[in-house]
Amino acid sequence: MRENYAAQIAKSTTELFDYISQRTTEEQLQRIIASYHFAAEAHKKQKRRSGEPYITHPIAVASILARELEMTDNTVITAFLHDVVEDTDHTVEEIRELFGDDVAFLVDTVTKRKKDSYEHSKQVDNYRQILESVHYDIRALLIKLADRLHNMRTLESMRPDKQMKIAGETDCFYAPLANRLGLFEVKSDLENLSFKYRCGIEYGDIERWIKEDEQNNQERLKIFCKDVLGTLKDHGIQCKVETFWRRPYSLWRRMKQQKTDFWHLPNRYYVRITFWEDTMDDPLTDKETCLKIYNLLTRDFRERPGTFINQIEQPKENSYQCLRLMLLSNQGVWEDVQ
């Protein structure tokens, strides 16, 4: 088992460092590698509740920040070191000497304060520290969110009561925080993982229904997306057209709000059109291109009255912008397009 863990760690770090090397200097890469080795040595006697070596957690947090959030060198270094001061005998001053003031500051900011007594409770004081960190550096919040995301992805090793507690915290605090920062994928992952542990039966049912719904609509949607793509490319708009099913938590929430079951729920999926550089001689702004796409689609497809929503002029609270509408496909079914 130890050999398996060693091979897994070697594989994950090699892949991570190869990915990072594509957008860092050699000096930055060597500092990141050095931070990994420092953390691996500091945590070498520690294990996670699952039995894995503890270093697998900092590796995963660093990978989330580098790959999913595309953060730079000092943030990734801090991810490797984020539990060193809290869980070992190493100090912030040691980290300052080895990795500089910026990394030491970030490690100190994300390290939970050990107190003999708490002003409210350990949990509340921890929330306050997390929120106060935004006054100093937004990167500290991103590290905390990446830390929570990996903990949620590996929550199956915890006791059921711990799972419920951590899942509840995630749904009430961390997911809304990610949403306010505009991190939709992180927010969505946190919500769904929380839902999985809080409402396991409902989560499993909806997952099964989504797979069935995908199979039932696969061919029809493929034709619709091909027709939309052809219409737009004929008018010089470079784009891709993809279908996405909403996640279990989002569907469950809509079912509750609309007091209906899965199969009678509208907008279980949506078609997303993503465009890039305009090939015309007179380039348009993003807003103008969105409106041009709207005009082209409503010329070839019937628009459902009252479904047009302009989220360019009025973005969502997480700054997401798009135009939304429902179109009647050739199969006589309304498709949610954005």
Q: Which residues are catalytic?
A: 86-87
Distance CA 116, CA 317 (A): 39
- CB < 8 Å & 24+ apart, contacts of 9-13: 9/53, 9/55, 9/56, 9/59, 12/56, 12/59, 12/60, 12/63, 13/59
**Cα-flanking dihedrals φ and ψ of residue 287, to 5°?**
-65, -45
Nearest Cα to 99, choosing from 63, 75, 83, 69?
75
**Longest CA–CA separation in the chain, Å:** 69
**Cα-flanking dihedrals φ and ψ of residue 232, to 5°?**
-75, -40
Distance CA 195, CA 202 (A): 9
* Amino acid at site 128: R
Residues 6+ apart with CB under 8 A from 307: 324, 325, 326, 334
